[in-house]
């Protein structure tokens, strides 16, 4: 394993990523920006797009977190306007990158997907969920059959823009 350590799972959380799980590189400055956004948005959930490389690959590299407004301004759910998702895709494409996923916070709850997350997620994206109070993050991908989420291996890394 390289020098970047896996971001720790919270105590009492479900087991970590299964062997062979997709690796998601999330540089510390990008994670820091996500956590800062989460703290500023609390007690509502924050949300945003993960811009990077490797959509559809065994490894994704997040290079930027693009903060987006939570249309619901709720502590229990987030909603990103479709026009903002398209704008994020266009901005990423201008840089030769892509939207590889989305992030959001769970104020007062652990960084594990909720029933609402299961209902609204798409299986081809990475979802980084942060626990604001403990400063923890975990990455997830919805299974193709939509039966639940599989945890992805979240590691630090270089390359933030």
In the residue annotation, 45 being an active-site residue is answered as yes
Cα gap 80→158, rounded to integer Å: 28
More confident residue, 124 or 65: 65
pTM of the model: 0.86
Domains of the chain by start residue, with CATH: 24-155 (3.40.140.10)
Render pLDDT for 129-144 as a digit per residue (tens, 0 to 9).
999 888 899 999 999 9
Query: Which one of the listed residues 3, 45, 152, 158 is annotated catalytic?
Result: 45
d(C-alpha 112, C-alpha 97), whole Å: 27
Taking the C-alpha atoms of residue 101 and residue 49, their distance in angstroms, rounded to an integer, is: 6
The pLDDT of residue 58 is 87
């Amino acid at each position: 394993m390289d020098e970047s350590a896996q971001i720790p799972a919270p105590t009492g959380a479900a087991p970590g990523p299964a062997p062979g799980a997709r690796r998601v590189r999330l540089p510390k400055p990008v994670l820091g920006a996500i956590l800062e956004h989460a703290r500023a948005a609390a007690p509502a959930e924050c949300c945003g797009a993960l811009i990077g490389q490797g959509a559809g690959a065994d490894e994704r590299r997040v290079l930027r977190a693009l903060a987006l407004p939570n249309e619901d301004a709720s502590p229990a759910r987030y909603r990103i306007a479709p026009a903002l998702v398209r704008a994020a895709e266009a901005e990423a494409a201008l840089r030769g990158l892509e939207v590889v996923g989305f992030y959001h916070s769970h104020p007062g709850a652990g960084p594990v997907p909720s029933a609402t997350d299961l209902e609204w997620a798409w299986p081809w994206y990475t979802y980084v969920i942060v626990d604001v109070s403990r400063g923890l993050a975990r990455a997830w991908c919805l299974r193709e059959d939509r039966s639940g989420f599989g945890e992805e291996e979240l590691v630090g890394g270089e390359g933030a823009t």
